[in-house]
Amino acid sequence: MVKRLSEANVRLVAMIRFADVSKRYAGGAVAVDGLSLAAPQGEITVLVGPSGCGKTTTLRMVNRMVEPSSGRIELDGRDTATLDPADLRRGIGYVIQHGGLFPHQSVERNVMTVPLLLGWAKAKARERARELLELVGLAPELADRYPAQLSGGQQQRVGVARALAADPPVLLMDEPFSAVDPVVRDQLQEELLTLQRDLRKTILFVTHDIDEAIRLGDRVAVLRVGGRLAQAADPATLLAHPADDFVADFVGRDRGYRSLGFVQADVAVHPEATVALGSVAGPARDAADDGWVLVVDESGRPQGWAATSHLGETVERADLALGGTLAPSGGSLRAHLDAALSSPSGRGVVVDEDGRVAGTVRAQEVLAAIQAAASPDGQR
């Protein structure tokens, strides 16, 4: 007998568990083979692997858009096979490529869809939609537009807002950022992490991009072609201790560099002389011996580097060398090394939590810290 779920019951879903789950199609094709995996409550679990490894099939079996051939899938200890599929899906947020929006409905109405299906009053659903559009960074005037009038990144934000509309504890995300350009993708990834810090949803996320998996996942599950689990671990463990050659090859030959993203930097941050944008970079003492001076705005946030040739002139934005990423104070060795290596001055800019210059680091000092971190006793 199919068990009906009330709205309150759906909201109790807190964890996803696969127990020896397989999916076989007519003709003998195996998409998923004996998968046992847990997605912990309040964390992002990422499914990653080559094409044909069953990532999307695994995801779609959770909300029963694909029915497993064998095994058991549980949500908060409940066998999904005993739950009504429609009620089950209303209690799970679902985000796909291109947002999966209804083209004939406004942005606001798209976000209102699930709350209205759950019987919410229209005024309450509309208020929730506008609250979520603001939460995902969309301007209020976009609420009355249609999906075709939005950029790809905006459509994905609407898709995330719609998935969150009924406040489900579980989100399924199927390569949601793969169809946008790299800059927008980076922004969307950062926004998802920011939202997750506040909302603590249980998220099952599918991607083919190992960098995205490592950046977003609290836990990363690598699948082989044929839908068999190769390894499931936190990103740092996956990078440092791949289970076998397949995992090592999939993670990539630069996994040692990626692993630095999980080691906190213990590097001296040096005070840095700065010049304000729009002021005169007058005395040569403002520049280091290498001929570069760091330029900041009126709030002390870095804008770029000016060369010695501009000393004695008003520093304009067009004069700046803009290369160089920024490392957060207390950030990782990878962030500090990248900041130093990408800076035209060779000095990586470190910023505080408000984005103001805290000082600079030098590549050779970061490399020394890397060597110390790798030594058996952790000492220089």
DSSP secondary structure string for all residues of 83-100: B-HHHHHHTEEEE-GGGG
Token pair belonging to 243: 């289970």
Cβ-contact 280, 314 below 8 angstroms: yes
69 vs 106: CA distance, rounded Å: 38
Q: Using an 8 Å Cβ cutoff, are 202 and 186 in contact? A: no
Q: What is the mean pLDDT of residues 225-250?
A: 92
Helices (runs of H) and strands (runs of E) counted in the chain: 13, 16
Please name which of 341, 369, 338, 10 lies closest in space to residue 168, comparing C-alpha atoms. 10
For residue 218, list its beta bridge partners.
none
pLDDT average, residue stretch 119-133: 93
Of the ranges 119-128, 165-174, 225-234, 309-318, which one carries the lowest mean pLDDT score? 309-318
Mean pLDDT of 62-73: 96
pLDDT in tens, 268-320: 888 887 888 877 665 544 445 667 888 888 888 998 888 877 666 777 877 78
Highest-pLDDT range among 233-242, 247-256, 276-285, 288-297: 233-242
- What is the per-residue pLDDT for 372? 83
CA angle 201, 49, 248 (to 5 degrees): 110
**Domains of the chain, CATH where assigned:** 7-255 (3.40.50.300), 274-374 (3.10.580.10)
| Angstrom distance (rounded) from CA 159 to CA 93 | 10
Average pLDDT over residues 354-359: 90
Reply yes or no on whether the pLDDT at 255 is more than 50: yes
Most distant CA pair in the chain, distance:
83
- How high is the pLDDT of residue 378? 47
Question: Regarding predicted confidence, which is higher, 152 or 8?
Answer: 152
Residues 6+ apart with CB under 8 A from 121: none
pLDDT score of 67: 95
Pick the more confident residue, 110 or 265: 110
pLDDT surpassing 50 at residue 12 = no
Rounded to 10°, the helix 107-117/152-164 angle is 20
CA–chain centroid gap for 251, Å, is 17
Per the model's pLDDT, the better-predicted residue between 139 and 376 turns out to be 139
State the pLDDT at residue 376. Answer: 58
CB 219 within 8 A of CB 232: yes
Of 44, 38, 22, the C-alpha closest to 170 is 44
In this predicted structure, what is the pLDDT of residue 285? 45
Mean pLDDT rounded to a whole number for the chain? 86
What is the pLDDT, as a whole number, of residue 15? 84
Report pLDDT for 263: 83
- The predicted pLDDT at position 281 comes to 60
Mean pLDDT of the region 13-33: 88
Q: pLDDT tens digit string along 188-228?
A: 998 999 999 989 999 999 999 998 999 999 999 999 998 99
Backbone angles phi, psi at 132, to 5 degrees: -75, -35
